[in-house]
């Protein structure tokens, strides 16, 4: 049992940017693949739409809120591994941008109580 098992489903959220730049690079297909992968894995991780992390040129971008993980240049083929990471597994090094300036700004906002889901397009 990991610390992530103690989180309720509403605290286990992946935010996928579906704004124009990321959408043009396939983020809506990515979101759909993530939802399918979560269902297939029996995961209760939510996959929400999000509007722009201000890292548009490197999209598709997503945030695994409860893992403090930020991924860029994400491809739908990463969906299963991303769900595994969201459920407590290892990060995916090739797309991990969690140490970048923009990611640290996002994590700082999360730590200050800002909830990206407040701006989400989906419930
Ligand atoms: S359009 Fe996706 S980060 Fe801006």
What spacing in Å lies between the alpha carbon of 97 and ligand 1's midpoint?
Answer: 14
What spacing in Å lies between the alpha carbon of 71 and ligand 1's midpoint?
Answer: 12
> Is 27 contained in some domain?
yes
> Is 34 contained in some domain?
yes
> Is 3 contained in some domain?
no
> Is 32 contained in some domain?
yes
SS3 for 74? coil
DSSP string of 39-64?
A: HHHT---EEEEE---S-GGG-S-EEE
CATH number of the domain residue 50 falls in:
3.40.30.10
> Could you say which DSSP state residue 24 is in?
H
How many domains does the chain divide into?
1
Separation between Cα atoms, residue 26 and residue 75, nearest integer Å: 8
pLDDT in tens, 81-110: 999 999 999 999 999 999 999 999 999 988
pLDDT in tens, 53-85: 999 999 999 999 999 999 999 999 999 999 999
In contact, 67 and 90? CB cutoff 8 Å? no
> Is 1 contained in some domain?
no
Q: Side by side, which strands form the sheet with 46-50?
A: 46-50, 13-17, 62-64, 69-71
Residues having CB closer than 6 A to ligand 1 are 17, 19-22, 52-53, 55-56, 59, 61
- Structural domain for 48, as ranges: 11-119
> Is 6 contained in some domain?
no
Separation between Cα atoms, residue 58 and residue 22, nearest integer Å: 8
């Amino acid at each position: 049992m990991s610390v992530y098992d103690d989180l309720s489903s509403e605290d286990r959220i992946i935010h996928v940017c579906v704004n124009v730049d990321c959408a043009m690079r396939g983020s809506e297909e990515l979101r759909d693949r993530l939802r399918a992968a979560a269902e297939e894995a029996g995961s209760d991780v939510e996959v929400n739409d999000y509007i722009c992390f201000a890292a548009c040129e490197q999209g598709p971008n997503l945030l695994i809120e409860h893992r403090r993980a930020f991924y860029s240049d994400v491809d739908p083929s990463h969906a299963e591994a991303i769900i595994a990471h969201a459920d407590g597994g290892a990060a995916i090094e090739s797309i991990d941008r969690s140490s970048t300036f923009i990611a640290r700004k996002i994590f700082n906002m999360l730590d200050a109580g800002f909830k990206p889901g407040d701006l989400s397009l989906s419930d």
